[in-house]
Amino acid sequence: MDYDFRTLVFHLSFTDLKEKARLAAGNLYTENFKGSQGWVSGVLKRNQLQTVVLKGEEAESDPEVGEGWIQNKSTEILQKYKYADIFNCDETGSYCRYTPRKTLLKFGQRIKGGKKVTERISVRLCCSATGEKLPPLVIGRSKKPRAFTKVKLDFKKPGFTYANNKKAWMTRAVFTPWLKELNEKKKKNRSLVFLPPKQTSRIQPLDQGIIEAFQAHESAAKAVQNLEEYKMPLTILHSVEWIVKAWSEVNGSTIRNCFRKAGAFHMVEKK
């Protein structure tokens, strides 16, 4: 049986490549072969290969399943609605005390690394196919964060909503009230559609670049903090400010393009 290796997909690291090359060299009685980093770089360049990071479920998802859902199931569901009534939501994480993994030092200067930050909060983002953005839902651990009460911050302040549980995760207890409130505001009963397993990386609009754009804006918002502010303790209030600012800067065209990429515009708009 003949194989076209250009169409085969399998995971191969630098170490795998070097070990296989050493075995082949041994079988060919090739002396002094080391399989150095320079040799690996040469192999990649000559064969037009590159290294990529495998993201989430994308490596395990079946393209045919995703394409079948886009062409058939999604069309059947979405053609009943106007673009403005089609929403997608998902969660991402945020670290309110996150510090960069790299820094700048003068030659010869040394600095000790700190403990890796593990204090994470969750952020639920939701937007429509027309580019409308709902206020982000921030999920923390504390019911009433001291940083909020200290500045008398309204938990329902325009720009974000807040919920909590012990692990700062999206749970049914958090999601249900949020969905009911959305129904009341929109004065419509929404149909909840779950995407096929392991296909969100291919067919979910938020995974096509919306969350990535949000995270880029959030990182930029953190970067503008001056050094004096970094010396002060960072709280969840700082995170909320970064999150709200970052979400406000994700533009409508980015959202609409991601819906198109995910196949949400494979239907006729109802008038």
Rounded to an integer, what distance in angstroms lies between the CA atom of residue 88 and that of residue 97? 28
Q: Provide the residue ranges of all domains of the chain, joining segments of one domain with +.
A: 1-52, 57-101+116-262
Tens digits of residue pLDDT in 221-257: 877 664 445 556 778 888 898 999 999 999 999 999 9
Q: How confident is the model at residue 2 (pLDDT cuts 50, 70, 90)?
A: very low
Of 87, 91, 77, the residue nearest 175 (C-alpha): 91
Angle between helix 14-27 and 37-46 (nearest 10): 100
Q: Are 270 and 79 in contact (CB under 8 A)?
A: yes
Q: Are 125 and 136 in contact (CB under 8 A)?
A: yes
Half-sphere CA count of 46, side-chain side, radius 13 A: 6
- The structure's pTM equals 0.70
| pLDDT at residue number 3 | 42
- The CATH class, in words, for 57-101+116-262 is alpha beta
Rounded to an integer, what distance in angstroms lies between the CA atom of residue 263 and that of residue 46? 36
Q: Are 63 and 201 in contact (CB under 8 A)?
A: no
Tens digits of residue pLDDT in 140-181: 999 888 888 877 776 666 689 899 999 999 999 999 999 888
Tens digits of residue pLDDT in 50-76: 766 555 555 556 677 777 777 777 777
